[in-house]
């Protein structure tokens, strides 16, 4: 694993840990009914009884997704990108380059997901105590938009890289 990716995954791990700490910290302070859904305005519009499931679901999902990104980092061939089928036809050097791109995408996504889940975990706990608190619509839109742009950028980059590599290999085979 590259050093920069280790640092990125460590930061994502700290964000997952922070979401657990927030959920544990607020557990005793939460009322019997807590918000579980937020509308486009950022205000809570769905409620449920306080339970271990409802309070710790977001930190658990954050942790599971981080584990998934780490797994996909080590096994990029399972990333379910359409171009991964092409990767089986490439030589080792080309395949390693494409896998390196996929690994960078996975490392970055772990940060985006970490920020998203940390923000929602904090916001849902605070809004349970302070009914006037809202999640920021603009922050959520910018964050989700940035995540989608990140995914599109890397998916296109991997697609173009593998498509070019396959084209080069096909030219060599024809000769």
> What are phi and psi for residue 37, nearest 5 degrees?
-150, 145
> pLDDT at residue 162 above 90?
no
Please compute the mean of the pLDDT values over residues 160-169 and round it to a whole number: 80
pLDDT tens, residue by residue, 31-56: 999 999 999 999 999 999 999 999 99
Task: Compute the distance between CA of residue 175 and CA of residue 171 in angstroms, rounded to an integer.
Answer: 7
pLDDT at 95: 80
Please give the full DSSP string across 51-86, using - where no structure is assigned.
-HHHHHHHHHHHHHHHHHHHHHHH-GGGS--TTHHH
- Domain assignment of residue 59, yes or no: yes
- Domain assignment of residue 174, yes or no: no
Closest by alpha carbon to 116, among 146, 78, 160, 85? 146
Residues 19 and 121: beta-carbon distance below 8 Å: yes
pTM for this model (two decimals): 0.87
pLDDT tens, residue by residue, 15-33: 999 999 999 999 999 999 9
Q: Which residue has better confidence, 8 or 166?
A: 8
Query: Number of structural domains, the chain?
Result: 1
pLDDT tens, residue by residue, 58-100: 999 999 999 999 999 998 877 776 666 666 677 788 888 888 8
> What are phi and psi for residue 3, nearest 5 degrees?
-60, -45
pLDDT tens, residue by residue, 97-152: 888 888 999 999 999 999 999 999 999 999 999 988 999 999 999 999 999 999 99
- For residue 88, what are the domain limits? 3-169
- Domain assignment of residue 175, yes or no: no
- Domain assignment of residue 42, yes or no: yes
Residues 49 and 35: beta-carbon distance below 8 Å: no
Closest by alpha carbon to 163, among 103, 82, 105, 108? 82
- Domain assignment of residue 11, yes or no: yes
């Amino acid at each position: 694993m590259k050093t920069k990716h280790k640092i990125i995954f460590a930061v994502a791990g700290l964000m997952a840990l922070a979401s657990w700490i927030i959920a544990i910290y607020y557990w005793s302070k939460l009322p019997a009914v807590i918000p579980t859904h937020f509308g486009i305005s950022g205000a809570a519009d769905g409620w449920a009884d306080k339970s271990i499931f409802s309070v710790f679901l977001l930190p658990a999902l954050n942790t599971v997704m981080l584990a998934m990104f780490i797994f996909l980092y080590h096994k990029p061939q399972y990333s379910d990108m359409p171009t991964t089928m092409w990767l089986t036809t490439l030589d080792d050097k080309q395949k390693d380059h494409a896998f390196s791109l996929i690994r960078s995408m996975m490392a970055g996504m772990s940060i985006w997901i970490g920020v998203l889940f940390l923000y929602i975990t904090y916001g849902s706990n605070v809004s349970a105590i302070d009914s006037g608190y809202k999640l920021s619509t603009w922050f959520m839109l910018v964050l989700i938009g940035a995540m989608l742009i990140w995914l599109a950028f890397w998916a296109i980059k991997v697609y173009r890289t593998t498509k070019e590599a396959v084209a080069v290999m096909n030219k060599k085979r024809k000769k």
